[in-house]
Structure 1
Amino acid sequence: MTGEDVLGILAALRDFDICVGGGWGVDALAGEQTRPHADLDLMHREEQEPQVVAALAARGFAETLSWRPVRFVLTDPGGREIDLHPLRFAEDGSAEQSSLTPGEPFRYPAECFVTGTILGTAVRCLSAEQQLFFHRGYEPREKDLHDLALLRSLAAAKTRWRRGLAWGG
């Protein structure tokens, strides 16, 4: 999955509330592609799911895996994969995603929806803190270790910047 692929997919979904997560979300925070990506993780409003799926079907994507209501995967004939995560939003801007454990949803605080860039284009993505949170509870693979190091660096830089503002520096 290339940066151009991602921007093309996001352009096809411009009428919907979409947020980039996973590896591309990490790279959006970094403002540059730092590693190859096999797929694209997208969060979307649960109520917009039929329209999101239809827009992607028009680009040749079809469902190849379903773990609904938690997530599902669409793949195109070229093998590009989009991992879709349906979210239910609250009035305060926070959201929840179903998990495999009933009654214990994944939580997205309102402030975790931030802006990053892919190939110089602004995209909505998940914050470094939220991505770090989602990297808990499983044995990290090599790509996860790369992403974790980058996320920690980005979160530390943000903390240093905030401290500078608080200290008048």
Structure 2
Amino acid sequence: MELGEVMRVLDTLEAERVAWWVLGGWGVDALVGHQTREHRDLDLAVDVADWDAAVLACAGLGYLVETDWWPVRSELVSPRGWVDLHPVRFDAAGNGVQARLDGATFDYPGEHLVTGALGDRPVRCVSAAWQLQAHSDYDPRPQDVHDLALLRSVTGP
């Protein structure tokens, strides 16, 4: 997925007032401030209150639901790439929680919702510390090894 397409998706979601945070590889790149590798998809945490608007906005860009694992995630695909939406339920304090496939949940503490940059554009993302935690419960793939090294460089040893 090209950076221009990422920006097109984010601009569209922004225009629809969808609350989103960039995760995964693009989220790592946002924390370091530039693209560091090729990406298959754009991972986004989306406020469940905006879920329908997010799916409709992506559909308007030509993305179709390919995998629907509600309430864990939905993958949408188009000829330009994949958008992986993760529904997050937020409380009044700004802390979120996402369901996992194993029935457990994954927390999004409000203090870990930060701002990074892709190109010259500020983007909402999750902190390096949170992303390190998110990568801790499975065997890393080669792209994860790359991302983990970058995350450690941002957070220190």
Shorter-chain TM range is: over 0.9
Aligned pairs for 1:107-146 within 5 A:
107-146=107-146
Residue matched to 1:55: 57
Computed over aligned residues only, the root mean square deviation of the Cα atoms, in angstroms, reads 1.1
> Helix, strand or coil: the match of 2:129?
helix
TM-score, normalised to structure 1, is 0.89
TM-score, normalised to structure 2, is 0.96
The 1-side partners of 2:101 and 2:37 are apart by 29
The 1-side partners of 2:49 and 2:106 are apart by 17
Post-superposition shift, 1:13? 0.2
Q: Could you tell me which runs of 5 or more consecutive residues in structure 2 were left unpaired when the two chains were aligned.
A: none
- 1:35-84 alpha-carbon deviations (Å, 9 max, x no partner): 110100001011211111111111111100111110110001x1510000
Post-superposition shift, 1:101? 2.7
Structure having the higher strand fraction is 2
Question: Identity of aligned pairs, percent?
Answer: 43
2:111 maps to amino acid: E
Residue matched to 2:99: 98
> Helix, strand or coil: the match of 1:13?
helix
Runs of 4+ in 1 over 6 A off after TM superposition: none
Q: Is residue 145 of structure 2 the alignment partner of residue 152 of structure 1? A: no
Residue matched to 1:38: 40
Q: Could you tell me which runs of 5 or more consecutive residues in structure 1 were left unpaired when the two chains were aligned.
A: 158-169
How many correspondences in the alignment?
155
Whose radius of gyration is greater, 1 or 2? Answer: 1
> Helix, strand or coil: the match of 1:36?
coil
1:33 maps to amino acid: Q
Q: Is residue 51 of structure 2 the alignment partner of residue 29 of structure 1? A: no
The 2-side partners of 1:109 and 1:19 are apart by 13
Matched-pair contact (CA < 8 Å) for 2:18–2:50: yes
Aligned pairs for 1:15-26 within 5 A:
15-26=17-28
Residue matched to 2:84: 83
